[in-house]
Amino acid sequence: MTEDVRAAAQRMYAAFNAHDHAAAVDIFTADFFSHPLGTTGPESVTRSWQRFHEAFPDAEVVVEDMVVEGDTAAVRTSVRGVPGQPRPTMLEIFRVRDGRIAELWGLSSLRRS
């Protein structure tokens, strides 16, 4: 289970960094729920990633730390390629079901205008 959870998180960050928005369908469950955004489904992830990459086309998420226990991963990341502010950091917690991310909680230091 631990390696499945770790692999799901790594697939998500790799797809984001590659601008592979379509991969969200294979990474997130059909009933995925994002607590920070209050959105559901992989399509909501695709839209969010597209908006982010439109605003910051050079953005890249770097995993700094990942702790996995049971069906959950806690990940601390930094974000490169966001001009005009110190390197933002994020803390995200994922719950994985059947090898896909089913639920996400997160905090970010990214300033939004």
CATH number of the domain encompassing residue 45: 3.10.450.50
Specify if 73 maps to a domain: yes
Specify if 34 maps to a domain: yes
Determine the pLDDT at residue 31: 98
Specify if 74 maps to a domain: yes
What's the domain range around 32? Answer: 2-108
Quote the number of domains for the chain.
1
Residues 18-44, mean pLDDT to the nearest whole number: 97
User: Which residues sit opposite 103 in a β-bridge?
Assistant: 33, 95
Specify if 103 maps to a domain: yes
0.75 exceeded by pTM: yes
Specify if 113 maps to a domain: no
Determine the pLDDT at residue 84: 84
